[in-house]
Amino acid sequence: MDVSIYSPDIFEVLVKCRRSQTVQWSRYPRFVFSCGAAPSPIHPARTALRRYIDQRRRSDDQNIYCLSAEGVVESNVFGSTDLITQESMIVDVADWLIIFAESVGSYCELGAFTALPHALEITSVAVTKSEREKSS
């Protein structure tokens, strides 16, 4: 995987794009829901995004919260509800859904979330060069 694709410059472009579509970004709490492979040295995207947001906190960015399916599952808020339903509920409150297409599960999430009309407006997809160049 080309880990250099997740540089701060890339996140800056993604955030600027999202901000241009959002009125008064800093006025209310904003929830960023990131999906992708389990965070690891091989799949650093979600960890890098969280670090990017944390490192660039300014007075107008104090109300940005990163959400993850793992965090919701750990809190056991939804009990025995299946994971895709839980994630769909997170999308209902998210301001930005970013899918790092880097695993089979993240491709499934991409299909599931693009089937939800309300998710289309807030979804961004990041695909690595190695995945983008595949013929499928």
Q: According to DSSP H, which parts of the chain are helical?
A: 8-20, 45-55, 69-75, 83-93, 104-114, 117-120, 129-132
CA 83 from chain centre, in angstroms, equals 16
Higher-pLDDT residue of 63 and 32 is 32
pLDDT digits (tens, 9 = 90+) for 72-129: 778 877 778 888 888 888 888 888 899 998 888 888 888 888 888 888 889 999 887 7
Answer whether CATH 1.10.1220 is correct for domain 3-128. no
